[in-house]
């Protein structure tokens, strides 16, 4: 007959034999997955808060939020309202709210297409507009937004039907 090997001497316990030579139990695998889930939830939660804090200061994000807020207010109140921009105080103001532009860069509200422009210092400069009207049906006056950072300019065309940013291809087709 076969003899059992004992652990710890002659009268000790027998060592169990595992089929297949070893491995992890289901409980161990579940414990590791739970730890991975906990760590990733902690990292994603703090990363999301960091992204939101960074985005709050971005001039483009604040401006697009103001446009959406003005449209929303016009629809809710059932009457037209105006979004005004004051370059000196860097404030976007409408009847139901006000946002101050922080962060780097400048904003200009431009007419829907180039009407008149001048070349100043080797750069083409357009005359900005100071207000945009939003209507109760969710539409707005056509306009463009110009964001200037470190001498680089980015112009976004706003769709008058949805008050959302048009893709560059759609904006190019409108002119």
DSSP letter (8 states) at residue 10: T
More reliable by pLDDT, 44 or 89:
89
- One of 3.30.360.10, 3.30.300.340, 3.55.40.10, 3.40.395.10 is the CATH number of 58-173, namely 3.55.40.10
Task: Look at the alpha carbons of 103, 168, 165, 110 in this order and tell me if their dihedral is positive or negative.
Answer: positive
DSSP string, 27-92: HHHHHHHHHHHHHHHHHHHHHHHHHHHHHHH-HHHHHHHHHHHHHHHHHHHTS-EEEEEETTTTEE
Residue 66 contacts residue 92 (beta carbons within 8 Å): yes
The whole-angstrom separation of Cα 127 and Cα 116 is: 7
Q: Tell me which range, 72-86, 112-126, 161-175, is most confidently predicted by mean pLDDT.
A: 72-86
Q: For 5-47, what is each residue's pLDDT tens digit?
A: 555 555 556 666 656 657 889 999 999 999 998 888 887 766 5
Model-wide pTM > 0.75: no
Q: For 128-160, what is each residue's pLDDT tens digit?
A: 888 999 999 999 999 999 998 887 888 899 999
Indicate the domain borders of the chain. Answer: 24-56, 58-173
pLDDT band with cut points at 50, 70 and 90 for residue 162: very high
């Amino acid at each position: 007959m076969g003899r059992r090997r004992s652990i710890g001497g002659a009268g000790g316990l027998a060592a169990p034999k595992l089929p297949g030579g070893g491995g992890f139990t289901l409980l161990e695998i579940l414990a590791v997955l739970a730890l991975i889930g906990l760590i990733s939830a902690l990292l994603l939660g703090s990363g999301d808060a960091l992204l939101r804090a960074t985005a709050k200061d971005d001039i483009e994000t604040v401006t697009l939020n103001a446009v959406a807020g003005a449209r929303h207010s016009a629809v809710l109140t059932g009457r037209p309202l105006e979004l005004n921009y004051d370059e000196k105080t860097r404030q976007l103001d409408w009847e139901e709210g006000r946002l101050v532009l922080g962060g780097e860069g400048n904003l200009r509200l431009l007419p829907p297409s180039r009407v008149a422009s001048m070349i100043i210092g080797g750069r083409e400069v357009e005359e900005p507009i100071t207000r945009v009207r939003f209507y109760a049906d969710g539409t707005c006056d056509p306009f463009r937004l110009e964001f200037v950072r470190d001498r680089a300019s980015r112009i976004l065309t706003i769709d008058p039907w949805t008050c959302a940013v048009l893709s560059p291809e759609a904006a190019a087709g409108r002119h």
